[in-house]
Amino acid sequence: MEPLEIVAGPQAQGRLDVWLAGQCADLSLSRSALQTLMEQGCVTQNGRPVNKKEKVCPGAQYLLCLPEPKPIEAVPQNIPLSIVYEDTDLIVVNKPKGMVVHPAPGNPDGTLVNALLYHCEGQLSGIGGAIRPGIVHRIDKDTSGLLVVAKNDATHQALSAQMSVHSIHRVYHAVVYGNLKDDEGYVETWLGRDPRDRKKMAVVPEEAAGARYAYTGWRVLERFGNFTYIACQLKTGRTHQIRVHMASTGHPLAGDAVYGPRSCIKSLNGQCLHAKELGFVHPATGEWIQFDSPLPPYFTEFLNRLRKEHRA
């Protein structure tokens, strides 16, 4: 694997291993993995092996010699699936909170793809490659709800085309911090990698590298004073879109440890976000089909708690 060159900007500061971990977020290189590389002499500055405890030097050029990545193979696993609809072309599933959609470093198995390969006996679209067979769109690990998966390439291409022109109907339910001023509204921005933390997404200027247009419409369903229950309709589907958009308005999602307050609600085990409605034109029949997923127990229990506290 070719060495990775990283140049520290004039504002770079802090411990080198922490700073490098932020720069290598796209490679899923953890701080401990970088420390190991440093101990092995695989991270250098101008040919000099660096120490894991030293500070980053603004303007310095660092070279990382990374080991060859170990191949990840998605294998069938007998994992229960919540199937909402299925035919010969596609399958709509209700993903539980905590399940990763496809294998990746740190999550090599136990994913939705592993379960789908077992259930569909390998009959999934190959467009997404060996790691993401059939996956047309994704939702975060700690987001629950509806996903459509393609069983063949023609279906995958047709669904992707609907995604690209924003004709697929997707509504998410969420609980956010604070009391939204209006009953409905929208957030329309450009999203990209957070320049200060590559593991996160952020609202960025249109001209920023990798910036992508994103639109989220929202409306209030119920108010609890310190929290608001909302429905979000997506026109686009960018990474962490709802989470970043609502946080940008000053109303991050309850339970979101990444974009919310430091003292997040840990009992939610992640953001309170559910992909509730999904509708699209069936590629084979040309008919519109739409599905609705009931709120999962973690969500309804949190709502009931808020209602009780708000009435008190």
Beta bridge partners of 91: 86, 149
Burial degree of 43 (CB within 10 A; 0-12, 13-18, 19+): buried
> Residue 286 carries which side chain, given as an amino acid letter?
G
- The pTM of the full predicted model, rounded to 2 decimals, is 0.79
Q: Which residue blocks in 64-207 are alpha helix, DSSP H?
A: 112-119, 153-164
CA distances from 35 to 94, 99, 161, 188, 254 (A): 39, 29, 43, 40, 34
Which tokens sit at 47?
Answer: 């040919």
Strands in 61-64's sheet, in edge-to-edge order, are 4-7, 61-64, 43-45, 48-49
DSSP track, 232-261: EEESS--TTHHHHHHHHTT-PBTT-TTTS-
Which tokens sit at 11?
Answer: 């504002």
How many domains does the structure of the chain reveal? 3
Q: What tens digit of pLDDT does each residue of 53-71 get?
A: 899 989 888 898 877 655 6
Q: Are residues 100 and 193 in the same domain?
A: no
Is residue 114 within 8 A of residue 79, CB to CB? The reply is yes
Tell me which of 150, 165, 180 is where a domain ends: 165
Q: Are residues 238 and 258 in the same domain?
A: yes
Is residue 153 within 8 A of residue 127, CB to CB? The reply is yes
Neighbours of 194 (CB within 10 A): 17
Is residue 139 within 8 A of residue 95, CB to CB? The reply is yes
Per-residue pLDDT of the chain (312 residues; tens, 9 = 90+): 567 888 888 888 888 888 888 777 666 667 777 888 888 888 999 889 998 789 998 988 889 887 765 566 789 999 999 999 999 999 999 999 999 999 887 788 999 999 999 999 989 999 888 788 999 999 999 999 999 999 999 999 999 999 999 999 999 999 999 999 999 999 999 999 888 887 899 999 999 888 999 999 999 999 999 999 999 999 999 999 999 999 999 999 999 999 999 888 989 999 999 999 999 999 999 999 999 999 999 999 999 999 999 886
Q: Are residues 158 and 175 in the same domain?
A: no
In a domain, 289, yes or no: no
Count CA atoms within 13 Å of residue 262 on its CB side: 0
Count CA atoms within 13 Å of residue 206 on its CB side: 3
Identify the CATH number of the domain in which residue 35 sits.
3.10.290.10
Looking at the annotation, which residues are catalytic? 140
Q: Are residues 178 and 267 in the same domain?
A: yes
Which tokens sit at 250?
Answer: 């000053």
Q: Are residues 56 and 104 in the same domain?
A: no
In a domain, 71, yes or no: no
Q: What tens digit of pLDDT does each residue of 204-257 get?
A: 999 988 899 999 999 999 999 999 999 999 999 999 999 999 999 999 999 999
> Residue 311 carries which side chain, given as an amino acid letter?
R
Q: What is the CA radius of gyration of the chain?
A: 22
Q: Categorise residue 298: left if φ over 0, alpha if ψ from -120 to 50, beta otherwise.
A: alpha
Distance (Å, whole) CA 54 – CA 57: 9
Tell me which of 132, 165, 198 is where a domain ends: 165
CA distances from 58 to 8, 43, 267 (A): 5, 16, 40
